[in-house]
Amino acid sequence: MRALLLVLFFFTTLSATYCQSVDRYTIIPRPAQLDPRTGEFIIDRSTVIMVPFAQTELKAIADTFATQLNRSTGLNVPVRNTNKLISSGNIIEFSPSTDTTLHEEGYRINVTDRLAMIEARSSKGFFYAVQTLYQLLPPVVLSSEQGARRRESLPPNSSPALRSMLLALPIPACRIQDSPRYGYRGLHLDVSRHFFSVTYIKKYLDLMALHKLNQFHWHLTDDQGWRIEIKKYPKLTQVGAHRRETIVGHYDDHDPQVFDGKPYSGFYTQDEIREVVRYAATKYINVVPEIELPGHALAALASYPELGCTPGPYTVSTKWGVFDDVFCPTEKTFSFLGDVLTEVIDLFPGKYIHIGGDECPKVVWRKSAFCQQLIKRLRLRNENGLQSYFVKRIDKFVTSKGRRIIGWDEILQGGLSPNATVMSWRSIRGGIEAARQHHDVIMTPGQFCYFDHFQGDPAQEPTGFGSYLPLDKVYNYNPTPAELAPAEAAYILGVQGNIWTEYISTHTQLEYMLWPRAAALAEVAWTPLAQKNYDDFTRRLAVHFNRLTNLNTNYSRTLYDVALAGKPTAEGNVEVSLSAGKFITDIRYSLDGSIPTGESPRYEKPILLQKSTTLRVASFQEGQPLSQPAKVQKEFIVSKATGKPYTLLNAPTAGRPDRNYSLTDGTTCGMGGYEVAGIVAFSNDLNAVIDLGQPQSVETVRVGFLKYTARNICLPKQVDVSVSEDGKTYRPVLTTKTNAAEGGKRGIVRIPFSFEQTTARYVRIIAHSVGRVPAGLRNPGRTAQLAVDEIEVN
């Protein structure tokens, strides 16, 4: 009996902790209206789900909900036909509503201690209500394995009543009335650069559905791969779905560029496409296919060279970027694209077909006699007008099939096609322009919605495309521009998050880049603007991360990263301050290269470094790590030059200036994406005089030079070091040649220069620029720059 009482006490405490904590309602996206109540509804073996069986879609939703409940809990909650005679008991009831004030995708949930009532006008509304129920329940409800583990952990010979109690799950009492802010709530996936299986696409759709996203933009064709089977043109997948190898790293990471030497391929059969479309429909997600035109066409041209303006040959691209070879606007091309789009339209029943229209260079068209004659014959102004003609022909064809096109905002160039919906990606300006022309708009500007961009310090993050898009910037985005009048704002259909996969080759990395930023955008798309609150969102994320864990989904914890800021002291040391988000009070660090743990020193005040050190930091809560393990670290350099002033006899470039003696501040640069933070660049020589403050012995100078030859930043050709005690008369102590023609992987090259020990107060360093990029590198003959990180003297 005592054991039983202990078990009952444990269960009661667990239930109370979940249902009475500040985290009772951790729903993402936040509902439009939620009225909290005390108490909870307990799902246990006495629970019955009631649904009108005559409504088959609703019955399927209830069955799926019951299956997930039972799989995760070990219960056996039944689904029964609605019976008006049963009005009491432990009931979850799905009740169709005829209330016309309820939005088509809206729903109501009313939870008391004996009844959980769900109302909606449509199956969509009921589906979204279920997603909310999942998030009212403990995160374990989303696990596919937890039920079996919980059953196995029950006390042996426990009674049915006790087993039921131990397997039960609480729903906090509340009343919710909810509907979306926008009708279009999208998430994009590029499978052309890197391919993802049908099995994984289904998981992607599952995660979209949980966050009430309803449009899956499937980017199926590009220069690096054609991923959809077209029966009439088999070479599109026989040739266009394969590239011989793939570039390693960023476009400019290596000089010369490095390739992995591994063939890469993949495509979806039409049966697989149908399977994905059917599965998406069960999640109330529409699939928007994208067939790129007239640019990003190399995979198609490699398959059918006659579609280009030159004979070719063409190859599927092995590197990223924008390429001059595009579709030629011949009748053969339009016939081909018509055939392709006919098969695509047959596979995808949704309203929209995305036709790309972005990043279409006009170089080939300018050189093509055919194109120039066509421009004259059609009385077009220029090649932009030719692109508009191209898009309008495709629009007319797609419209004749009963569908509508979406295009990236470049389709505005030369005049917008009459039925086109604009996807505004380069900024918000394209969306504003299109809305003012009374065209439907989907907002997806890169500075707010591109999840292949870095979400934390680029030097600490996995490889990303470039730019910086932190979680709070995504969350605080408002897709309806303030510049639009109300009548114009009505053309903003919604918002979409995009993820391009040049640097994303695995499911794990894809998820890391998506979550939780996609969750933030889901709240942007669904929740009324007045109900949004970033602090509240981050509070709910703590529980939401547990949901993602139960769904075997990776996510970024950059939200909990610790920022490091170093500054030199008057004594020549470096003082490092650590900071993190407002909810983080426990920061740990290590100075010996080890990964910080809950037992590592706790940060209480700025850390004084008296020697060069790699500092590693992490945030914790109750002894458990919050930030990504072993992620944030930074090297700080302490030498006799640290914190000392200097004179630059040659001025730095305006683009990479010196900021408050940054060459001797002890803080090394950060490198990530395409840029390098914290360096000082020169269009000619580095000529620096460091004042050590008083005469002292010196025998080594070490300079960190940036080698980034693909961007014309080279190592020096020679370095001269001289010393002085009065700052007027200098004695040479070293002249040495260096290898300005060194290419390879970009990075900071810290070159030591040693000489016979001497006494000096002033140290002068002249690093001679090579002037022009040497032969053998990517851009020989171009003007070279010299870039410097940190200067050490010892």
Is residue 724 within 8 A of residue 761, CB to CB? The reply is: yes
The answer to whether 297 touches 359, Cβ cutoff 8 Å, is no
Instruction: Tell the residue number behind the tokens 């096609």, with chain if given.
Output: 417
Give, in degrees to the nearest 5, the angle at Cα 746 between 425 and 772.
100
Q: Which amino acid is at 572?
A: G
Integer angstrom CA distances of residue 750 from 143, 522, 560, 711, 783: 50, 45, 32, 19, 23
Which amino acid would we find at residue 447?
Q
Check 343, 359, 433, 635 and give the catalytic one. Answer: 359
Helix (H) or strand (E) holding 97: none
- CA–CA gap between residue 193 and residue 500 (Å, rounded): 8
Amino acid at 200: Y
Q: How far is it, in rounded angstroms, from Cα 315 to Cα 625?
A: 48
Taking only Cα atoms into account, the Rg of the chain, rounded to an integer number of angstroms, comes to: 31
Nearest in space to 774 (alpha carbons), one of 750, 738, 745:
738
Helix and strand numbers (H, E) in the chain are: 20, 37
Q: What is the DSSP string of 6-28?
A: HHHHHHHHHHHHHHHSTTS---S
Q: Mark whether 502 is an active-site residue.
A: no
User: At residue 761, what is the residue type?
Assistant: R
The Cα–Cα gap between 455 and 471 comes to 7
In angstroms, the CA 289 to CA 181 distance is 24
| Tokens representing residue 173 in the block | 């009492």
Of 321, 318, 297, the closest CA to residue 309 belongs to: 297
H-helix or E-strand containing 68? helix 56-73
Q: Are strands 574-579 and 607-609 parallel, antiparallel or unpaired?
A: antiparallel
- Can you read off the two tokens belonging to residue 506? 């695995």
Contacts of 192 (CB under 8 A, 6+ apart): 219, 220, 221, 222, 223, 224, 225, 226, 227, 299, 501
**674 three-class SS:** coil
441: Cβ contacts below 8 Å, ≥ 6 apart: 421, 422, 423, 424, 431, 434, 435, 491, 492, 493
H, E, C per residue of 703-741: EEEEEEHHHCECCCCEEEEEEECCCCCCEEEEEEECCCC
Contacts of 216 (CB under 8 A, 6+ apart): 186, 187, 188, 189, 204, 205, 208, 280, 285, 286, 287, 288
- With CA atoms as reference, report the closest residue to 158 among 78, 79, 74, 77: 74
Residue 521 CB contacts under 8 Å (≥ 6 apart), including other chains: 187, 449, 474, 475, 477, 495, 497
688 and 764 in contact (C-beta within 8 Å)? yes
452 phi and psi, to 5 degrees?
-85, -5
> What gap in Å lies between CA 338 and CA 532, rounded to an integer?
44
Token pair for residue 739? 């290898």
Rounded Cα distance between 415 and 426, Å, is 17
Q: Quick check: 704 and 790 in contact, CB under 8 A?
A: yes
Task: Return the active site residues.
Answer: 359
